[in-house]
A and B are shown apart, each in its own frame.
Chain A
Amino acid sequence: MSDKAYVRTEMLEPRDPPPSSVGPIHWIRENLFATWFDAILTILSAAAIIGLLIEVVPWLLSPTWGGTSLDNCRKILAAANHDGGACWGVISERWLQMLFGFYPAELYWRPIAAFVLLGVALAPVLFSDKVPGKLLYFTAAYPFFFPWLLWGGTIWGPLAAAAGFFIGYGVYVVASRMVGNLTGVIAGILAAIIWWLVLSGYAVDALAGIAPIGIEPVESRKFGGFMLSITIGVVAIGASLPLGIVLALGRQSDLMIVKYLSVWFIEFIRGVPLITLLFVASTLLNIFMPPGTDFDIILRVLIMVTLFASAYMAEVIRGGLAALPKGQYEAADALGLDYWKAQRLVIMPQALKISIPGIVSTFIGVFKDTTLVSIIGLLDPLGLSNAIRADSAWNGIVWELYGFIALIFFVFTFSMSRYSMYLERKLHTGHR
C-alpha cells in the first residue's frame, strides 16, 4: 500500500507564506492600497503630510536658540541662509518664566518639590495595586502641605487648618452621642467653621510667636506661568471630585432641603460661564468687601474654579448613578447596609467606574479652562505670552510662544487621557 507512488511518505515542511500576504508589504496592500480609491486617498494624504513637514520641519529646526531679540533672530537666520525659521531665543530666554512666573528663582525648588510630592501623594490613589497602602496617610496630609510649600509662611497655618477637621470630628463624636446623629453632624461642621474663621487666626499667631517655624512666604502676585495653571488645575480637580460626589448624592437625596440646595447650586453654576465667575472673583468681591481686606486673588480664583468644576462633576457622577441598575440599590438594601455603607461598598465603585471617561473629560476641560484667568490679569502661560511680547525685543513673536504652551498643555492632557484608558482597562471586570 505504502509503495504507491502517489502517496507522500513524509510530511512537507511548512513553507513561509507568500511575501504578498505577510509583513509590511501585505500590511501596506491591505490597509493603504486595498482598492484604487484607497490608493488615491493614501497618495493624497501622504502628499499633504509631506508638504506640511517640508514647511514645518525647517521652521522648527531653526538655529536661533541663542537669539537675543526678534531682530537678532532674523540676522542669525539671514547669516545661516535659513529662510523663514522660528525664533527660539524667546523660549530659551523665557522658559523658566513661562514655567514659574515671577516665583523667586532661589525658591524654584519649592514648586518643583510640591509637584513631585504631589505625584507621590497621588500614587496610592492612581495606582492602588502597585504602591503600599500606607502612603495614603501621606496623601491625606498632603492637601495641607501642598499650599504651605507653594505659599510658604509659618507651618502653623496648615496645621491649624488640619486641626479644624479633627476638632469638627471630635465635636461630632461627642455631640452625636449626647444629642443624636444629625445634630452631631451640624454641630461638628459648625465647630470646624468657627475654628477656621475665628479662632484659628489667633491660634496661629500665638503659636508662631512661641515657635516661629516656617519658610519664606511668597505672595500670590508672584505666581504665574504653568505653575499657576497647574496649581489651579490640581486644586480644582482634587477638590471637585469629592464635592461633585456629595452634590450628585445630594441631588438624588430624599431630604428636601439637601436636594433643592444641590439642584439650585448645580443649575446656577452650570448656567453661568466660568469667565463670569472669574470676574465676580476679581472685581465684584473686591467692591463688596471693605477696602483693605486682603482676600487673596488666587484663593478667590481657586474657589470659583473649584465650584465651577464640582457642578459639572456632580452631573457626570449623577450620570453614572443613573446608569446603575436599580437592582444594585435594592441588593445593597437587602444586605442590610445603611446608606453610607451602601454608597461606599456597592454604589459608588460601580457608578464612578462608569463615569471615568466623563470625569477625566471634566478634568481636562478644567485644566485647559485655567487659561481664562489671563482675562482677569493673572499671568498664566497665555497672559505671560502677552507680557513677553510686550518686551520690545520679542514683540511680534506668536507661533513660538503658543507652540510651546500648546506642547506643554498637550503633555498634561494627553497623559491624563492615557491614564483614564489604563484605569478603564484595569477596572474592566467583564460583567457588562
Chain B
Amino acid sequence: MKKTVLFGALTIAGLAAGAAAAGTLDDVKARGKLNCGVTTGLVGFAAPDANGEWHGFDVAVCRAVAAAVLGDQNAIEFVPTTGKTRFTALASGEVDMLARNTTWTFSRDVDLKFEFVGVNYYDGQGFMVPKSLGVSSAKELDGATVCIQTGTTTELNLADFFRSNNISYEPVPIETNAEAQQQYLAGACDVYTTDASGLAATRATFENPGDHVILPEIISKEPLGPLVRHGDPEWGDLVRWTLNALISAEELGITSANIDELKKGTNNPEINRILGTEGKLGEMLGLDADWAYRAIKANGNYGEIFAKNIGENTPVGLARGLNAQWKEGGLLYSPPFR
C-alpha cells in the first residue's frame, strides 16, 4: 500500500514536471537541434547511408520540421528507436517527435497519451506468395504455412482474417524482416505477410522478383504517421501543419524546382498564404513567414519525397495507391491553409 502511494507520488511528480516543461518549440529553438525518433532501419522509410546521413520517407518529415523551425534541415539529432523503446522515448521527452512508421490506433492515441498529427503513409497488411503456388487470392490459402513477425498487430490481423474466412493456417513465427526473407526464400513458409510496403521492398531484393506475387487482399488499415506527446498542442499544431504543408504543396503544384519562382507572388491566394507572401500563418505558429517555404524547399513536396524514397522508380517501387491526392482518387486531403 505504502509502495503504491510512493509510486503514485513519483508518477504525479513526473507528470507535473512534464507539464511544467511544456513548450517544446522553445526547447528545440534553445537547443538548436530537433530530436527526432526514427526506426533503427526500414527500407525506404529511414536508413543511414555510408556517411551516416539518414535518408528516407519518414526522415524527410523530420527534416521538414527542422527546416521549418530551425531553418536548417540538418539541425537534427536522429534517435534510432526500436518497436519497444519508441513510446517511452517520446513520452519521456528524449525525442521531440516520432516519425517512425507507427500505426495510428485508438489506444496509442488515447491511452498512451500521444497525439498523431496526421498520416503520411496509408499502409495495410498484405500477403506475398511464390507464383508457383498458383494462388490468386488470399482466400485460397487454406492450410498454408505463414511466416509472421511475432508480437505485432500483423499477427492479430492474420488470425482475424483467417477466422472470419473460416480457413486454417499454420504460423511460422519469426523475429525480424531479414529472418523472414531468408525463411520465405528457403521455403520454410508458403506465405509471407507484413505491411504491403514492406512486402514490396522485400520482393524487390529477390533475385527473381517476378517469381513472387503480392496478393490483392489488404486485410488491415495501417495509417502510419508522425506523433508527438500530449500536453503541448502548439508543438503538435506545428508538426501537423508542416506535414499538411508538404501535402498541400503537391496539391497546389509547389515543387522544390518552382518554389523560388512562386515565392515572388502568384495569383493563387492559398499558395501565397503557404509561402508567407500573404497572411500571417507563420506568426500564428510562433514561427516566421517563411516556415513552410523552408519545409517544402528542404526535400520537396509530399509527391517528390514519395517518388524519391519509395516511389515506382526506386527499388522499393510502391505505387501511390491510397497515398495519392484526393483529386486523384487517393486519401491525401490536407485541410485548407486559411
Q: Which residues of B contact A379 (CB under 8 A)?
A: 40, 80
Q: Give min CB distance, A59 to chain B, whole Å.
A: 15
29 contacts between A and B (CB under 8 A): A71-B315, A94-B50, A97-B50, A97-B52, A102-B52, A221-B78, A222-B52, A283-B85, A283-B88, A283-B89, A283-B92, A286-B88, A287-B88, A287-B92, A291-B14, A374-B40, A376-B85, A386-B40, A386-B176, A387-B48, A387-B80, A388-B47, A389-B43, A390-B40, A390-B45, A392-B44, A393-B315, A395-B43, A395-B205
Chain B contacts with A in 202-222, Cβ cutoff 8 A: 202, 204-207
A184 interface residue (CB < 8 Å to B):
no
Q: Give min CB distance, A384 to chain B, whole Å.
A: 8
Alpha-carbon distance between A378 and B92 when the two chains are bound, in angstroms: 17
Q: Give min CB distance, A396 to chain B, whole Å.
A: 3
Chain A contacts with B in 254-290, Cβ cutoff 8 A: 279, 282-283, 286-288, 290
Q: Which residues of A contact B206 (CB under 8 A)?
A: 396
B278 interface residue (CB < 8 Å to A):
no
B93 to A392, Cβ gap below 8 A?
Answer: no
**Interface of chain A, main secondary structure:** helix
B321 interface residue (CB < 8 Å to A):
no
Alpha-carbon distance between A380 and B39 when the two chains are bound, in angstroms: 15
A290 to B17, Cβ gap below 8 A?
Answer: yes
B41 to A102, Cβ gap below 8 A?
Answer: no
A389 to B52, Cβ gap below 8 A?
Answer: no
A396 to B205, Cβ gap below 8 A?
Answer: yes
Q: Give min CB distance, A371 to chain B, whole Å.
A: 13
Q: Give min CB distance, B39 to chain A, whole Å.
A: 7
A377 interface residue (CB < 8 Å to B):
yes
Alpha-carbon distance between A422 and B46 when the two chains are bound, in angstroms: 47
- B41 interface neighbour in A93, A388, A396, Cβ under 8 Å: A388
B182 interface residue (CB < 8 Å to A):
yes
Known contacts A93-B50, A395-B43; decide if A375 and B315 are in contact (CB<8 Å). Answer: no
Q: Give min CB distance, B33 to chain A, whole Å.
A: 10
Give the number of chain B interface residues (Cβ < 8 Å): 48
A209 interface residue (CB < 8 Å to B):
no
B85 to A377, Cβ gap below 8 A?
Answer: yes
B21 to A279, Cβ gap below 8 A?
Answer: no
Q: Which residues of B contact A102 (CB under 8 A)?
A: 48, 52
Smallest Cβ-Cβ distance to A399: which chain B residue: B182
Alpha-carbon distance between A287 and B12 when the two chains are bound, in angstroms: 11
- B43 interface neighbour in A290, A375, A390, A398, Cβ under 8 Å: A390
Q: Which residues of A contact B27 (CB under 8 A)?
A: 292
Q: Which residues of A contact B204 (CB under 8 A)?
A: 392, 395
Known contacts A279-B84, A291-B17, A379-B80; decide if A391 and B92 are in contact (CB<8 Å). Answer: no
A286 to B42, Cβ gap below 8 A?
Answer: no
Smallest Cβ-Cβ distance to A286: which chain B residue: B92
B178 to A377, Cβ gap below 8 A?
Answer: no
B262 interface residue (CB < 8 Å to A):
no
Known contacts A290-B17, A375-B82, A383-B80; decide if A390 and B88 are in contact (CB<8 Å). Answer: no
- A288 interface neighbour in B10, B77, B89, B314, Cβ under 8 Å: B10
A74 interface residue (CB < 8 Å to B):
yes
B201 interface residue (CB < 8 Å to A):
yes
Q: Which residues of B contact A97 (CB under 8 A)?
A: 48, 50, 52
Q: Give min CB distance, B95 to chain A, whole Å.
A: 11
A192 interface residue (CB < 8 Å to B):
no
Alpha-carbon distance between A97 and B181 when the two chains are bound, in angstroms: 24
Q: Which residues of B contact A376 (CB under 8 A)?
A: 82, 84-85
Alpha-carbon distance between A386 and B41 when the two chains are bound, in angstroms: 6
A302 interface residue (CB < 8 Å to B):
no
Q: Give min CB distance, B9 to chain A, whole Å.
A: 12
A317 interface residue (CB < 8 Å to B):
no
B244 interface residue (CB < 8 Å to A):
no
A287 to B182, Cβ gap below 8 A?
Answer: no
B146 interface residue (CB < 8 Å to A):
no
B288 interface residue (CB < 8 Å to A):
no
Alpha-carbon distance between A4 and B182 when the two chains are bound, in angstroms: 87
Contact string, B45-76, partner A, CB cutoff 8 A, digits 1/0? 11111111000100000000000000000000
A311 interface residue (CB < 8 Å to B):
no
Known contacts A286-B89, A396-B181; decide if A377 and B50 are in contact (CB<8 Å). Answer: no
Q: Give min CB distance, B47 to chain A, whole Å.
A: 4
Q: Give min CB distance, A98 to chain B, whole Å.
A: 11
Contact string, A80-124, partner B, CB cutoff 8 A, digits 1/0? 000000000000011001000110010000000000000000000
Contact string, A292-308, partner B, CB cutoff 8 A, digits 1/0? 10000000000000000
Interface centre among A374, A379, A386 (most CB of B within 10 A): A386
Alpha-carbon distance between A374 and B82 when the two chains are bound, in angstroms: 9
Q: Give min CB distance, B287 to chain A, whole Å.
A: 22
A286 to B41, Cβ gap below 8 A?
Answer: no
A70 interface residue (CB < 8 Å to B):
yes
B49 to A390, Cβ gap below 8 A?
Answer: no
Smallest Cβ-Cβ distance to B77: which chain A residue: A221
A291 to B49, Cβ gap below 8 A?
Answer: no
Contact string, B182-216, partner A, CB cutoff 8 A, digits 1/0? 10000000000000000001101111000000000
Alpha-carbon distance between A291 and B80 when the two chains are bound, in angstroms: 19
Q: Give min CB distance, B142 to chain A, whole Å.
A: 30
Q: Give min CB distance, A99 to chain B, whole Å.
A: 12
Alpha-carbon distance between A375 and B85 when the two chains are bound, in angstroms: 8
B201 to A392, Cβ gap below 8 A?
Answer: yes
Alpha-carbon distance between A383 and B176 when the two chains are bound, in angstroms: 12
Q: Give min CB distance, A394 to chain B, whole Å.
A: 9
Alpha-carbon distance between A389 and B80 when the two chains are bound, in angstroms: 15
Q: Which residues of B contact A395 (CB under 8 A)?
A: 43, 201-202, 204-205, 315
Smallest Cβ-Cβ distance to B51: which chain A residue: A105
Q: Give min CB distance, B152 to chain A, whole Å.
A: 16
B148 interface residue (CB < 8 Å to A):
no
